[in-house]
């Protein structure tokens, strides 16, 4: 058995970018099958245009229409494309200096093998059938000596009649990674899978941490030993969440509370149920309510929630240093 538990995480959002007037001009051009560059104070024609001139620092205002035909100035082969790249098959990324420009544009070239591309090769833009004002309006570049292929529309244009300048683009970003728990946390989550709440004590300051820590935040020392806690505790402080938000897992309103388990020196954040939200109090005694055993996993979610017991409230002095 490996020492640590891990699980995949995906963080994804469709970001809404404001382009500003300069990049907006470039993207508006693409929508109309025109490549727009910007002339710098040094006379360079740059595609896409720079937002601000690197010498005068003024916003770019001198726009130049360049050709949709150009020359490969450098390239690299992509043998194993990954998700989100222009093609699911091997292809080239290249720097292409379009006729009329002095600086190259980075984009994909649709060729079958690295033998089919070379520096100095002439290429042309293959326009996407549906253009929305995005860099992907250029589907790819293709060799100039190959017969032109018009991209076939997969679906009708969303808004073919629009003439408004492009002011924004949507950029979906999705990040996949593996979240790894520390060895100490892994012990805690394995305990939960057996219906046990396991803490550890810092050998330097003697505080009991739940979950245990690889480094006590006060001393830097790893916590040690095995301290099993009963699941009974006291609400120190809490918040009633009334606000819905994107990605929320629990339907509001709900009470998110710090529960100081008996025997622990740090409170755990969890959900309170079994009592109307407006009756939850500081000092209220609660106990863990576990999910049915067949639903258990390596997770603090094995504890479905904490519910009040019929004990009297804890004395303020017993939890005030946790506020």
Quick one: which of 84, 250, 95 has its CA closest to 176?
A: 84
Q: Which stretch binds another protein (CB under 8 A): 77-85, 94-102, 138-146, 264-272?
A: 264-272
Q: Which residues of 114-131 are buried (b: 16+ CB within 10 A; e: fewer)?
A: eeebeeebebbbbbbebb
Least distance from another protein to the Cβ atom of residue 14, Å: 9
In the region spanning residues 283 to 322, those forming contacts with another protein, defined by CB under 8 A, are 298-301, 303, 320-322
In the region spanning residues 79 to 98, those forming contacts with another protein, defined by CB under 8 A, are none
Residue 6 or 76: the one with the smaller Cβ distance to another protein is: 6
- The pairing of strands 208-209 and 232-241 is unpaired
Q: Which stretch binds another protein (CB under 8 A): 13-21, 26-34, 115-123, 142-150?
A: 13-21
Q: Which stretch binds another protein (CB under 8 A): 77-85, 101-109, 209-217, 285-293?
A: 209-217
57 contacts another protein (rule: CB under 8 A): yes
Lookup: tokens for 126: 């293959």
The separation between CA 231 and the C-alpha centre of its own chain, rounded to angstroms, equals: 34
Residue span 218-247 as binding mask against another protein, x where in contact by CB under 8 A, dash where not: x-----------------xxxxxxxx-xxx
Quick one: which of 58, 48, 202, 193 has its CA closest to 133?
A: 48
Lookup: tokens for 290: 């576990």
217 contacts another protein (rule: CB under 8 A): yes
44 contacts another protein (rule: CB under 8 A): no
What does the DSSP 8-state code read for residue 38? E
Least distance from another protein to the Cβ atom of residue 198, Å: 13
Residue 206 to residue 202: CA distance in whole angstroms: 5
Least distance from another protein to the Cβ atom of residue 173, Å: 4
Provide CB contacts within 8 A for 93, sequence distance 6+: 75, 76, 78, 106, 107, 108, 109
Q: Which stretch binds another protein (CB under 8 A): 63-71, 96-104, 125-133, 270-278?
A: 270-278
CB 110 within 8 A of CB 87: yes
Residue 198 or 257: the one with the smaller Cβ distance to another protein is: 257
């Amino acid at each position: 058995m490996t020492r640590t538990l891990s699980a995949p995480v995906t963080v994804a959002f469709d970001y809404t970018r404001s382009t500003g007037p300069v990049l907006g001009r470039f993207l508006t051009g693409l929508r109309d099958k025109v490549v727009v560059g910007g002339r710098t104070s040094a006379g360079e024609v740059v595609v896409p245009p720079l937002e601000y001139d690197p010498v005068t620092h003024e916003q770019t205002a001198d726009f130049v229409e360049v050709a949709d035909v150009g020359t490969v100035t450098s390239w690299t082969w992509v043998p194993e494309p990954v998700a989100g790249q222009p093609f699911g098959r091997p292809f080239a990324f290249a720097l292409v200096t379009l006729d009329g420009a002095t600086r190259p544009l980075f984009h994909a070239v649709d060729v079958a093998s690295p033998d089919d591309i070379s520096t100095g090769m002439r290429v042309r833009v293959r326009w996407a059938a549906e253009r929305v004002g995005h860099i992907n309006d250029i589907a790819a570049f293709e060799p100039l000596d190959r017969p032109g292929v018009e991209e076939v529309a997969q679906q009708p244009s969303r808004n073919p009649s629009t003439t408004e300048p492009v002011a924004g683009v949507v950029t979906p970003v999705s990040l996949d990674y593996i979240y790894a728990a520390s060895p100490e946390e892994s012990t805690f989550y394995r305990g939960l899978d057996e219906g046990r709440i396991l803490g550890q004590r810092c050998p330097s300051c003697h505080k009991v941490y739940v979950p245990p820590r690889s480094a006590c935040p006060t001393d830097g020392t790893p916590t040690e030993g095995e301290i099993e806690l009963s699941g009974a505790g006291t609400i120190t402080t809490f918040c009633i969440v009334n606000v819905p938000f994107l990605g929320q897992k629990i339907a509001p309103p709900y009470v998110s509370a710090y529960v100081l388990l008996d025997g622990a020196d740090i409170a755990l954040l969890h959900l309170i149920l079994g009592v109307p939200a407006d009756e939850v109090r500081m000092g209220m005694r609660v106990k863990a309510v576990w999910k049915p055993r067949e639903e258990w996993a390596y997770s603090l979610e094995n504890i479905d929630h904490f519910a009040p017991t019929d004990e009297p409230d804890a004395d303020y002095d017993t939890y005030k240093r946790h506020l």
